[in-house]
Structure 1
Amino acid sequence: MSNPVSVFRALSPGFLDALEALAERPGWWQDVLAHPDLILAVRREAVNFYYRGASIFRVTFPNGTVTAETHAKYLLRQRQTTVRLDPTGAFGIDPATAISTSYAGPTTLTEMLRAATALSGLEKTGLHRLLRHAPNVIDVEIALTSSIADSADTDGEDASGALLDSTVPISVSRSPDRLDVASLEERAEPGEAWLVFHEAKIAANPELRAAPSGQPAIVAQVSRYTTTLTREADHLASGYQLLCRDLIRLDALRQRVQRAAGVSEADLWRRDPLVAEVAEGARRLRVDPRPRLVVFGFDADQRDGIFGTHLKRLQAEPFSLAVRAIGNPGAGTSNAFRRP
């Protein structure tokens, strides 16, 4: 039986108070909040900061103490290029130059992001660019897994650096399904806001293609998501309203730190006003069970060629997927996760 999402999508008041107090002191937390290019995601009594799909920091509150953790691969320094192997079999390298063993301020964070960049694929890099310019996005890396793993981390793979959220039961014998993005949008009814989920794919992803007589893999994937979202709509609506409340408080903290750090007003992290309206109950949150497929990483020639044919096939019957074709992500693609 699945647990209510509302249990998993909120931080305790004590945790939020501790994060605000910690932000008053110079250190890693200030540096993370001040950085304009990190994506913040709220988990169950945890906050993740993502960079190009990598969970750079996971912040938790065990025993009433703010604690951060990261994967060791993000501590590798991208400095030394050639290492000599001596006759004894030893590599001629000083470990202190190869890995960060302590946090030494913003330079350490910069090196961590550089290490993450070296490990990021084109799909995660492109998705990060889309997210950076999408103020209506409220969640990323949304895992659908069994309740027995509700508080477990992944094994450190970049593609899933999030907590496994116990929103639905699935067989533990297969990998959990994972939606890339959740966003809010307005529709016809002024007293409502819609929670929409998105699966993002780069155009080169083979899951978008199949032989003319076959079914692309993405079709079955989206079908599973639809079944889950339909079943869990009430839990998702209540859970994400709580998440929006936490985001409003964390965003205010982040803006305060960014202003103090000299970040320009144009680069401050801002959310769509819909987030505050949902948090305050001014709008009823409804769930769209039909995920939207966001496809990016292609130019006009590809769109008008064979790739465009594949996209039209996904949109047509019998598949009838909701497809948003973006092209190449950049500063001008702030509408990637909005209603077409």
Structure 2
Amino acid sequence: MSFRRGIRQDDFREALEALAQQDGWWRDVLADPSLIIGVRDEYLNVYWQGQSIFKVSFKGGKVTATTHEKYLLNPDLKDQISLVDGTFAFGKAEQRMLTREYEGAMTLDKLKRAASLYSGREKEGVHEIATSNLSVVDVEIAINASGVPGVERNLPRMDLANFETTANGLDLVFWEAKTFSNPELENGDIVGQIADYQKVIDLHKTEIDDSYRCVAKNLADMAKWSNGHRNVAAAIGAVADGAKLNVSSANVGLLVYDFTAVQRDRKDDDGKTLKHRVIESLTKVGVGRERIKFKGTPRGLTI
């Protein structure tokens, strides 16, 4: 199966629910709605600004969590380390790692600060959009493009997925996010990228539908376990309860942000702005104008 999402093991879900009632890292994650929980295939990624600070799995009947060692590097380090005769004097440096033991929300805050060092404007914007739109169900979405004619197997990940209430019911909408300065907007590569997403979604509609039904149930459960700290949009609750979800390759959009009014209004020799050119090119591959959003800042960008 090329696309699969969801925590389907009853034992795993029950263990997560039990862990949520105990003091510790999982309870702190659930209590922090600024963290995004990405539901994968029988594991979770906990994201801060595009960086997975926890991978949560179920092994040997227990919930286990891992993090990359780079996120344990103390973000408060200030000292210079001497290079003497070709050797760095690590022994004279202050404590380099955050802690050996998880010490509550303070440790979680330091992990977030450390992870921020590896982020960038695009991922920061995606995080802002995802945490301010309760209908978002997923981030960093990889779909295997193997076997799809004309599509590179290593297709870049889509940035966001959300449930949208429309006149025809509930749509699953995928969004690609770019800063205004991203060269893929100027050189037109974004058109091919979105066209490839459309082809892959067409091929895997059934798997995608099944996956996001399970994800909706998982997210609704986590909201219940969070003691009121997390909420899901009514659309997610409806899908969790069995409402029809429309999956279509037509529902792929583009979000562009991080620009000034001067940049927005700058025209080329033909008198067209970048926004005009992008909209013109994307509508040719079937992207609706309502699925192309430009906003100077990601704050308040509604999807």
TM-score, scaled to structure 2? 0.88
**What does the per-residue CA deviation read over 1:183-217, in whole Å, with 9 as the maximum and x for residues that have no partner?**
1111113xx2110101011111000012xxxxx11
Write the distance in 2 (CA, Å) between the matches of 1:32 and 1:188: 35
Write the distance in 2 (CA, Å) between the matches of 1:319 and 1:40: 32
Write the distance in 1 (CA, Å) between the matches of 2:249 and 2:115: 33
Equivalent residue for 2:215? 243
Letter aligned with residue 328 of structure 1 = T
**What does the per-residue CA deviation read over 1:215-236, in whole Å, with 9 as the maximum and x for residues that have no partner?**
x111111111000111211221
Q: What SS does the aligned partner of 2:101 have?
A: coil
Write the distance in 2 (CA, Å) between the matches of 1:232 and 1:88: 55
Write the distance in 2 (CA, Å) between the matches of 1:61 and 1:196: 30
**What does the per-residue CA deviation read over 1:23-53, in whole Å, with 9 as the maximum and x for residues that have no partner?**
2221111221112310111111111110000
Letter aligned with residue 196 of structure 2 = R
Equivalent residue for 1:278? 239
Letter aligned with residue 60 of structure 1 = S
Contact 2:195 2:285 in 1 (8 A): no
Equivalent residue for 1:224? 196
Identical residues among aligned pairs (%):
34
Equivalent residue for 1:129? 128
Contact 1:46 1:58 in 2 (8 A): yes
Q: Does 1:140 align with 2:139?
A: yes
Write the distance in 2 (CA, Å) between the matches of 1:116 and 1:285: 34
Equivalent residue for 1:36? 33
TM-score, scaled to structure 1? 0.79
Letter aligned with residue 55 of structure 1 = S
Q: Which of residues 15, 19, 33 in structure 2 aligns to 1:22?
A: 19
Write the distance in 1 (CA, Å) between the matches of 2:154 and 2:93: 35
Equivalent residue for 1:289? 249
Q: What SS does the aligned partner of 2:87 have?
A: coil
Equivalent residue for 2:97? 99
Q: Which of residues 49, 59, 66 in structure 1 aligns to 2:63?
A: 66
Q: Which of residues 160, 164, 174 in structure 2 aligns to 1:181?
A: 160
Q: How many residues align?
A: 291
Write the distance in 2 (CA, Å) between the matches of 1:285 and 1:44: 20
Equivalent residue for 2:292? 323
Write the distance in 1 (CA, Å) between the matches of 2:155 and 2:123: 18
- The offset of 1:306, in angstroms, is 3.6
**What does the per-residue CA deviation read over 1:272-315, in whole Å, with 9 as the maximum and x for residues that have no partner?**
1011111111x211113131011111122222224971221121
**What does the per-residue CA deviation read over 1:157-188, in whole Å, with 9 as the maximum and x for residues that have no partner?**
xxxxxxxxxxx656998534311111111111
- The offset of 1:54, in angstroms, is 0.2
Say which structure is richer in strand: 2
* Structure 1 vs Structure 2 CA RMSD: 2.3
Contact 2:75 2:114 in 1 (8 A): yes
